[in-house]
């Protein structure tokens, strides 16, 4: 597949999964051998990414994830994203605060045979905790 086709797969992942909560898209977009590496508790494989998406959408009302930049080479796509929502539910055992959030992150995807086979993710959880008032902001 071309790098543009790989980028389209990743863009659709963000649009269907985190932004819309369409877990059935995982069957189309993710390989059965999918592996997830993210800083949130989750089961392995497709079940794990569905857990992460479900937990984030339950915690953050109106969650929307915008892809800011994408870079692709071969079968690898890197995406810088911004997630926005309102903290209306428990997140990592933190009770809802009702505060709006903006969190940035970067995810690196490996594509094989037109499906995402691996995802490595890093998110600015420190910044998120500061926005929620859990950790004081540095001034």
Q: Is residue 137 part of a domain?
A: no
In a domain, 68, yes or no: yes
Q: 139 lies in a domain?
A: no
Q: Is 136 contained in some domain?
A: no
Burial class for 84, CB neighbours closer than 10 Å (0-12, 13-18, 19+) = middle
For residue 7, name the pLDDT band (cuts at 50, 70, 90): very high
C-alpha distances (whole Å) from 107 to each of 11, 20, 90, 93, 116 are 11, 18, 24, 24, 12
For residue 31, what are the contacts with CB-CB under 8 A and spacing of at least 6? 112, 113, 115, 116, 117
Domains contained in the chain, number:
1
Q: Is residue 26 part of a domain?
A: yes
- CATH number reported for the structural domain that contains residue 18 in this entry: 3.10.450.50
Quote the tokens at residue 105. Answer: 């992150």
What is the residue range of 19's domain? 3-131
Per-residue pLDDT at 107: 97
pLDDT in the model for residue 136: 86
What are the residues whose beta carbons fall under 8 Å from the beta carbon of 95, sequence distance 6 or more?
none
The predicted structure's pLDDT at residue 42: 83
pLDDT of residue 97: 95
Give me the pLDDT at residue 1, please.
86
CA dihedral 42, 47, 49, 51 (to 10 degrees): -60
CA dihedral angle for residue 49, residue 54, residue 57, residue 59, rounded to 10 degrees? -110
**Residue 89 maps to a domain:** yes
138 located within any domain? no
Q: For 80-90, what is the mean pLDDT?
A: 97
Enter the tokens of residue 70: 């994408």
pLDDT tens figures, 19-35: 999 999 988 999 999 99
């Amino acid at each position: 597949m071309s790098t543009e086709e790989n980028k389209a797969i990743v863009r659709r992942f963000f649009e269907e999964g985190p932004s819309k909560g369409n877990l059935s898209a995982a069957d189309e977009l993710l390989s059965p051998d999918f592996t997830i590496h993210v800083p949130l508790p989750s089961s392995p494989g497709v079940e794990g990414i569905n857990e992460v998406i479900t937990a984030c959408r339950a915690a953050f009302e109106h969650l929307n994830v915008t892809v800011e930049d994408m870079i692709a080479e071969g079968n690898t796509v890197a995406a810088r994203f911004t997630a926005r929502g309102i903290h209306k539910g428990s997140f990592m055992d933190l009770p809802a605060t009702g505060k709006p959030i903006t969190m940035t992150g970067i995810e690196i995807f490996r594509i094989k045979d037109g499906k995402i086979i691996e995802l490595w993710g890093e998110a600015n959880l420190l910044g998120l905790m500061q926005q929620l008032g859990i950790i004081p902001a540095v001034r």
